[in-house]
Amino acid sequence: MRQIYDNYTQEDFEVWKILFDRQMKQFPTHACDAYKKGLKIADFETGLIPDFKETNQILQDTTGWQLAVVPGIVPDYTFFELMANKRFPATTWLRKMKELDYLEEPDMFHDVFAHVPLLTNQHFVNFLEELSKIGLEYVGNDYAIQLLSRVYWFTVEFGLIQEKEGLRIYGAGILSSAGETKFSLSEEPPKHKFSIEHMLETGYRKDVFQTEYFITESYEQLYNSIPEIKKLMQEKLAAIA
């Protein structure tokens, strides 16, 4: 599959612009430094839907990653196999104007605008690659995939990071949502120190704002947690064998 740029409609460009501008107003005080740096590297613009050919060249030159076009949510094996080989699955379709605030399935704004900037950070993509290699080992084991999905969810999708200026967002699920961008950094939801064991014990829902978040200290901490993820998953799987 590939992106067919000429297929984008005027509504698509308007949707991208509205979503882009809305998030950019919040990002100076909400998005993490690595995301903001990555956004400049990716060269995304308001009103201009990214061309995957250009984005892939940028990613290739920066961290060696690429976007791989997918129709939507893909099977576990495909998902992990792509990322284990430095290819991030991304859709090419955009939500409609009436769906600006909520989608059941991630669209291109989430996959590209929210994820791509962090794909320029080497420690982050190293974590993503190694986490995906673990996933490949357990494809077909529903309990193991459920455990691993919790780590992915509370880091890659809904992670927070402590920076010098304060608490910031790096999770793409938050960065693509105007409402959750505000909510996640408010006083309302509980926030926990980074803990793989705690993540493995914590369920989540996809249809509401998260009820709790985890705070990492650095992307190195994410990558360095890989051995612990392997160990704790082995222990939990052995306990039910």
Separation of alpha carbons 222 and 131, rounded Å: 10
198 labeled binding residue: no
Which tokens is 107 given?
A: 């669209």
With a CB cutoff of 8 Å and minimum separation 6, the contacts of 161 are 32, 167, 168, 169, 170, 215, 216, 217, 218, 219
Topology given in CATH for the domain delimited by 5-239: Phenylalanine Hydroxylase (1.10.800)
Per-residue pLDDT for the chain (241 aa), expressed as one digit of tens each? Answer: 899 999 999 999 999 999 999 999 999 999 999 999 999 999 999 999 999 999 999 999 999 999 999 998 899 999 999 999 999 999 999 999 998 887 778 999 999 999 999 999 999 999 999 999 999 999 999 999 999 999 999 999 999 999 999 999 999 999 999 999 999 999 999 999 999 999 999 999 998 999 999 999 999 999 999 999 999 999 999 998 7
9 SS3 class: coil
Count CB atoms within 10 A of the CB of residue 113. 22
Euclidean distance between the first and final Cα of the chain, in Å?
40
So what's the pLDDT on residue 100? Answer: 87
Residue 152 phi/psi, 5-degree rounding, is -60, -45
So what's the pLDDT on residue 222? Answer: 97
Domain ranges in the chain are 5-239
Which tokens is 197 given?
A: 């064991």
Model-wide pTM > 0.85: yes
Which tokens is 196 given?
A: 């793989």
115 labeled binding residue: yes
So what's the pLDDT on residue 119? Answer: 98
The single-letter code of the amino acid at 9 is T
What is the b/e burial string over 177-194, where b = at least 16 CB atoms within 10 angstroms of the residue's CB? bbebbeebbeeeeeeeeb
Which residues participate in catalysis according to the annotation?
110, 115, 157, 176
With a CB cutoff of 8 Å and minimum separation 6, the contacts of 107 are 91, 93, 94, 95
Separation of alpha carbons 95 and 8, rounded Å: 12
List beta partners, residue 161. 168, 216
